[in-house]
Structure formats: structure tokens, C-alpha cells
Amino acid sequence: MPLNRARILLIVGGGIAAYKSLDLVRRLRERGASVRAVMTSASAQFVTPLSMASLTGNQVHDDLFSLTDEAQMGHIELSRDADLIIIAPATADLLAKVAQGLANDLASTLLLATDTKVLAAPSMNLRMWLHPATQRNVAQLKTDGVAFVGPDDGEMACGEYGPGRMAEPLAIVAAALELLKAPTKLPLPAGLKRAPGPLTGHRVLVTSGPTHEPIDPVRYIANRSSGKQGHAIALAAAQAGAEVVLVSGPVSIPDPEGVQTLHVETARDMLAAVESALPADIFISTAAVADWRPAEVAASKVKKTATGSVPSFAMTENPDILASIAHRQVGRPKLVVGFAAETGNVLTYAQDKLARKACDLIVANDVSLESDVAGGVMGGSQNKVHLISSDGVETWPILDKDEVARRLVARCAELLMSPNLKAAP
């Protein structure tokens, strides 16, 4: 997972190096990561919660028994919502609590309840770091899967010199990047199973990303789709208990965890992969498929001419994947959901697409430069969608694409169970 899509939970321990945690937040956020912070009571003696909240852009959490926080985001959800947990500074006391499984404050409770990988950046007096008890705790934590960065050698606040200085923020960022290259969710202990979700026992087929239609061996026709929304939907469906197949065009984001991903390039490749993945209970066509392709692909690179003449290409229409699946007489998914990315007359075009392509639901959005989504929808992290069905139009506010995915999957689960759902031929 790239850092610009990562959700980081930063736990700040109570040590003089806590001031470095502010720079760490800045370094993470300037690389696009979102950061939530949890501060121990001791850390607040070195860094103010107001400073941390200002830099993270989020509320700082410090109270295990805050009823307001529990109503908004419980302590279990707070730890499991993150892609990576960083403890910086990781004090001797905090490392000891985690190694022994203690949970007497918010920070230690989160670390005991999480299913997310942890990166610890120790900071303490050199004698504390070298003490056999601390070394036993570190060895145990490494056995338990906790990753470490540092400590570095250097001069201490107490005047001594040796190992115990917290790693510099950029070194912690580099260690986080390495961890994010692999899945960061820990498997459940043997013998345990996840609770069934609303889509347990169902098969979901999702398309995502753009297609690339070659002109010659070097060039191709494509669009600006990043695949973020489609990949988020596939992940949300898997988290809801579904068996998920994702058919992805060329994207630069990692495959979602717990999802079978089929990689394709062209629209025709995508249609073939979708048909091979059937049957499915739900088909969600999120991919931005190129409408046309060159009728013939040049065998070698098309070169400039001495006269400066511009080459022309005969174009042909690509197969309509959404309509092909929605109009199937045999093996049509019970629920077919399409996406309509428009730059004007969004609702009008989406309603027409709903009828013309025989979908059960169309998710429409404005992808124009005039869209009120900051940074734009294509390639951005947020979306504003309209749900169009035979019952009318429902407009959602601007949301992170992950939240759009969760809400859409929940709606699909409701529709799948609805006695009024009728498969349109």
C-alpha cells in the first residue's frame, strides 16, 4: 500500500522525544497519509494535545472511557481502522505493558486489541534500554510480530551517551513504507473465525480501473481512472463476508487483501475475464472502460514524418461490459450495479443509462473539473455520488472513497435480500 493511501494510528508515549512525534506527523501527512493520534497521559506533559490535533487534522484520543468517543468510534474500531500503528516514542513502560498484555489505559488497550501490524520507535535512557527486563520485552515483542526502528546512539537529555535516542522521523517514515509494502492485517489466531457478514455465502464480481487500448507497441488510449473506488468496493465486499473476484485494468495501487484479483489490459480482456468469473450474485461495474479502440494496432511504433503530417486512426466500438452482463438471459447476477462518470447533466445521463443498460442501480458522479470534490474525483481520495434506481435518486455527501465503498456494499446487501428485487432481462 502506498503511503498516500495509508491510515496511520500514532501512539505517543511519555518521553522527552515526544516532541519529535510532531515532526513525524508532518512528514507522514506531507506524503499523503492520514494520521490519528492517541496520547498517553505522560506524553501530554511534553506535547500538548492541541498541537497534535492541529497537525493531524483529527481529534486526539486519550481517554479509554470517553463516552463521546465510544459513540463515534470505539477503541476497538480505532485500532482496527488503521493500516499501520506507530508507537513513537515507545517508552520502556509502554513496551513492558504491550509485552505483558496489560491494558490499563487507551494506548495499551488499543495495542492489545488490534489486528494491525505495529512499528515501535523506542526512546529511553541507555541504561533502561540495556536493562535485561527491557531486552526481554523487546525480544518477546519481536516474536509477537512487532517491528522496530532504532533506537539510535546519541547524547541523552540526561547527559549520558549511547543507545536510546528515538529514530529520526524520516527513518520512521522509511520503516513504515517498508511495512506497508506487505499486508498489514494480522491473521486471526488458529481456531477462530470471523463473524459472518451481511454478504457471507455470496459471490461478488467487481471491475475497477481503466482499460488501455493499444495504438502501437508503445502508445495506448486510456483515461484517468485510478482504480481507488473499485478496489475499495472489492475490499469492502470481502470485509462483509463475500467471496470476491476483482477484475482490474492497469492501476498503480495494490490488490485488496482477501480478494481474488484478475489483471487485464483491454476492454475485450476485461469482458472475457468477467464472463469467466461468473456466476455471481452481485456484479458491480466500477471500471472506466474505454468506449472505443483503434480498429487496427500498428505492429511497430508510429513514427513522425518529415512533412509533419498527423496520423489518423480508424476507431471501432468496444464491447459494453455492463450491458452485456445486465442483459444476459442465462446467468445474470441477481443485482447489477453500474457506474456513470459524467461531466455534465449527471442525473439525466445516469437515469438514461439505468434504463438502457438494464441495471438495478447506477452510481453516478461528476468527474468534471468543476466538481465540488476537492482535488477531483479521478485519482483523488474522495467521491460524491448519486444512487439512481427505479425508486428515485439518493444523493450522498462528499465522502472518502473507502466510506463510499462501505455504504454501497451495505446497500447492495440490503437490495440482495429485498423481496422486490427482480432481475431485469
Q: If residue 128 lies in a helix (H) or strand (E), which one and from where to where?
A: helix 126-130
- Looking at 158, 188, 295, 355, which residue is catalytic? 158
Which of left, alpha, beta for 260 (phi over 0: left; psi -120 to 50: alpha)?
Answer: beta
Q: How far apart are CA 386 and CA 62, in angstroms?
A: 37
Torsion angles phi and psi, residue 200, rounded to 5: -60, 130
Per the CB < 8 A criterion, the answer to whether 44 and 105 are in contact is no
Which conformational region is residue 375 in: left (phi greater than 0), alpha (psi within -120 to 50 degrees), or beta?
left
| 3-state class (DSSP) for residue 332 | coil
User: Which residue intervals of 144-219 are DSSP H helices?
Assistant: 169-180
Peptide bond into 279 cis (omega under 30): yes
Q: How far is CA 355 from CA 291, 326, 348, in A?
A: 19, 11, 11
Separation between Cα atoms, residue 335 and residue 48, nearest integer Å = 51
Task: Tell me if 116 sits within 8 A of 84, measured CB to CB.
Answer: yes
What angle (nearest 5°) sits at the alpha carbon of residue 192, between those of residues 191 and 197? 140
Instruction: Note if 359 is an active site residue.
Output: no
CA atoms within a 13 Å half-sphere pointing along the CA-CB vector of 271: 15
CA 366 – CA 26 distance, rounded (Å):
32
Catalytic residue numbers? 158
